[in-house]
Amino acid sequence: MGEETPVSDHPFIDVPLPARPGVLLHRRADYDNTPDSIGIARDLTHDFLADISRRTGVLSDRTAGDVMLVVSELITNAARHDGGPRLLDLTCTQHEVEVTVWDTSAQLPTRLPRDPHRIGGHGIEIVAALCSRFRAERVPGGKRVHACIPLA
């Protein structure tokens, strides 16, 4: 058997785009570990949400805020705990906005027990509370964190 070589420097960049019925809008971007990558991800998300609102008219301010917060938390966690490249997938279906973040760390996020006296460490707790579905899994080259926010 010959040696396998990665398709790209970022092992998860070549993940296929969602190709399934019901996808209304999709955006994808990859980020290196630069100081401005979190802000760039937020800007992409803001533009994505504006497109959803223009195309469908079904995006409430609350849902948009929830999606922005989820993206912020997941991208910030990836930057803080990984330091490697990241991939952000945003998908809108008729019923929800799906946020998926890949990074190169195989360590899954930990949801800490509720503790109102703890300073910090509430990000995953907040994300899980905002989402109808939330999961994290190891994938070749790192992990994938997937969160779904209902449109209604």
Helix (H) or strand (E) holding 2: none
So what's the architecture of 23-150 in CATH? 2-Layer Sandwich (3.30)
Per-residue pLDDT, 84: 76
Q: Quick one: 94 exposed, middle or buried, by C-beta within 10 A (0-12, 13-18, 19+)?
A: exposed
Q: Structural domain boundaries of the chain?
A: 23-150
Asked if 143 and 108 touch (Cβ cutoff 8 Å), the reply is yes
Per-residue pLDDT, 17: 55
Distance of CA 83 to the CA centre of its chain: 16
152 residues of the chain, pLDDT tens digit each: 343 333 344 444 445 555 677 888 999 998 887 778 889 999 999 999 999 999 888 899 999 999 999 999 999 888 887 777 889 999 999 999 999 999 999 999 887 777 788 787 778 889 999 999 999 999 998 999 999 999 97
- Across-strand partners of 2? none
Helix (H) or strand (E) holding 123: helix 123-130
